[in-house]
């Protein structure tokens, strides 16, 4: 050690280039001299140049281009590396649960000169010895330019043993594990199974190859709006829980809820709910008893509002389906809205009458009149993305 410490500081700093970034904190605690060397800006500038110049601008949220279903990717700094995490809606029908995160890939320094990109995807976790927890696989990560989407991030695992074929996939243990993970003993599993079966086949047969586009979240600093913009989790009957983005037009007269994850009827990237804020409604409990009493509300039954929330009673009409039994009994805003519906493969899309209902800054709902159904949406807490 004394021989090393006798070297000039400039030479010691160059030696630090050969130490992986994750090991530099251990070097710091050996002695004061090496700690001072590690603190030299040039050491970190060279390491950052190798990784961040090429990959630092990937940090943020990305929307997956995946058939009907879409998806969400978060790239962030984590313990000396850049990590990509697949963000999934809560399992089963519990919309109040937090989002799930699964490690997808890591970008780190393999040596002083090389950057290592590996796939660490292990979802669903395998118990049969293949694809065990912590296993790393070679993968390709690159950014392409697309004329319509701009930047496109492509990810591909080259390990042939990891690639699954659609044929007979439902007979494999990995499919059973995926179904079990998604349902988590949900009592409504039988209702979800037909939709989830198709999703599981598509998801698992494409787990080796992803494409994403950048996702810009709307600003939360809006004045005189019934609920601030942001990410939400919403219930969609047999399709389960989906992730959506709520935002407003420039003059704050319209609210739009757009799908980030979707289903074969209304896919990801499509508008799910569209509301007109300039026509608020205030209804009594009696007016909400049934579809007939709601239909009897005059088309222009509006109230003058000063921009402040008007607390009013709320109930789901009789014979309407609901995916969540814990529905608030009061709301702060209500207006007429349109909800997009379509046949399988987004055939014959149309907008159906409904009511956009805000309960508080955390929850809003959509009353689908034609479908006789109620969907509830819960805000994605910032901690869910930071953890």
Q: What is the DSSP string of 227-248?
A: S--EEEEEE-GGG-EEEEEEEE
Q: Which residues of 75-88 are buried (b: 16+ CB within 10 A; e: fewer)?
A: beeeebbbbbbbbb
Percent helix, strand and coil across the chain, each rounded to 5? 25, 35, 40
Triad 334, 337, 341: Cα angle to 5°: 140
Query: Per-residue confidence at 293, pLDDT binned at 50, 70, 90?
Result: very high
Higher pLDDT pick, 80 / 226: 226
- Give pTM, 2 decimals: 0.85
Interhelix angle 173-183/189-205, rounded to 10 degrees, is 130
**Predicted pLDDT of residue 51:** 65
In the predicted structure, residue 64 carries a pLDDT above the cut 60? yes
Selection from 272, 375, 258 nearest residue 324 by Cα:
375
- Give the list of residues 6+ apart from residue 74 with CB closer than 8 angstroms, or none: 60, 61, 62, 84, 85, 87, 101, 385
**Is the separation of the CB atoms in 174 and 127 below 8 Å?**
no
Give mean pLDDT, residues 270-296: 94
Distances from the Cα of 11 to the Cαs of 7, 14, 17, 40, 138, in angstroms? Answer: 7, 5, 10, 12, 34
In the predicted structure, residue 150 carries a pLDDT above the cut 80? yes
- Give the list of residues 6+ apart from residue 308 with CB closer than 8 angstroms, or none: none
Domains of the chain and any CATH numbers: 2-39 (1.20.1280), 56-214 (no CATH), 230-386 (no CATH)
**Is the separation of the CB atoms in 181 and 90 below 8 Å?**
no
| Tokens 């088309």 belong to residue | 299
Give mean pLDDT, residues 224-241: 94
CA dist., res. 336 & res. 272, Å (int): 14
In the predicted structure, residue 255 carries a pLDDT above the cut 70? yes
In the predicted structure, residue 303 carries a pLDDT above the cut 80? no
Give mean pLDDT, residues 202-220: 93
**Predicted pLDDT of residue 134:** 61
Q: Which two tokens stand for residue 376?
A: 């509830």
Give mean pLDDT, residues 237-259: 95
Higher pLDDT pick, 69 / 41: 69
Query: Per-residue confidence at 131, pLDDT binned at 50, 70, 90?
Result: very low
Query: Per-residue confidence at 233, pLDDT binned at 50, 70, 90?
Result: very high
Give mean pLDDT, residues 313-322: 94
Query: Per-residue confidence at 129, pLDDT binned at 50, 70, 90?
Result: very low
Give mean pLDDT, residues 329-343: 97
Give mean pLDDT, residues 331-342: 97
Give mean pLDDT, residues 144-160: 89
**Predicted pLDDT of residue 199:** 93
Give all strands (DSSP E) within 147-287, no chain letters.
150-157, 209-214, 230-235, 241-248, 254-259, 271-280
Number of neighbours of residue 18 by Cβ within 10 angstroms? 9
Give mean pLDDT, residues 350-360: 97
Query: Per-residue confidence at 308, pLDDT binned at 50, 70, 90?
Result: low
Lowest mean per-residue pLDDT among 28-32, 126-130, 314-318: 126-130
């Amino acid at each position: 050690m004394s021989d090393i410490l006798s070297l000039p500081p400039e030479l010691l700093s160059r030696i630090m280039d050969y130490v992986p970034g994750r090991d530099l904190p251990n070097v710091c605690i050996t002695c004061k001299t090496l700690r001072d060397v590690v603190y030299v800006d040039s050491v970190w500038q060279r390491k950052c140049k190798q990784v961040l110049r090429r990959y630092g601008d990937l940090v943020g949220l990305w929307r997956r281009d995946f058939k009907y279903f879409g998806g969400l990717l978060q790239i962030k700094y984590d313990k000396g590396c850049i990590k990509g995490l697949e963000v999934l809606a809560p399992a089963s029908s519990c919309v109040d649960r937090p989002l799930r995160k699964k490690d997808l890939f890591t970008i780190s320094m393999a040596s002083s000169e090389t950057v290592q990109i590996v796939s660490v995807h292990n979802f669903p976790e395998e118990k049969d010895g293949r694809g065990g927890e912590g296993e790393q696989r070679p993968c390709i990560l690159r950014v392409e330019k697309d004329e319509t989407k701009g930047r496109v991030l492509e990810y591909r695992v080259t390990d042939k043993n990891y690639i699954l074929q659609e044929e007979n996939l439902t007979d494999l243990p990995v499919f059973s594990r995926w179904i079990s993970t998604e349902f988590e003993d949900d009592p409504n599993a039988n209702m979800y199974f037909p939709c989830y079966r198709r999703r599981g086949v598509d998801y698992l047969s494409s787990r080796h190859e992803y494409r994403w586009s950048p996702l810009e979240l709307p600003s939360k600093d809006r004045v005189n709006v019934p609920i601030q913009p942001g990410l939400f989790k919403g219930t969609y009957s047999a399709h389960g829980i989906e992730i959506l983005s709520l935002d407003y037009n420039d003059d704050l007269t319209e609210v739009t809820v757009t799908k980030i994850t979707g289903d074969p009827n209304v896919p990801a990237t499509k508008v799910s709910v569209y509301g007109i804020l300039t026509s608020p409604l205030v209804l009594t409990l009696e007016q909400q008893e049934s579809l007939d009493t709601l239909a009897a509300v005059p088309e222009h039954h509006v109230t003058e509002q000063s921009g402040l929330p008007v607390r009013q009673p709320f109930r789901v009409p009789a014979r309407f389906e609901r995916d969540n039994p814990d529905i608030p009994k009061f709301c702060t805003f209500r207006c007429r809205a349109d909800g997009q519906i379509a046949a399988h493969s987004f055939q014959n899309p149309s907008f159906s009458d409904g009511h956009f209902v805000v309960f508080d800054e955390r929850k809003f709902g959509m009353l689908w009149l034609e479908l006789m159904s109620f969907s509830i949406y819960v805000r994605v807490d910032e901690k869910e993305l930071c953890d």
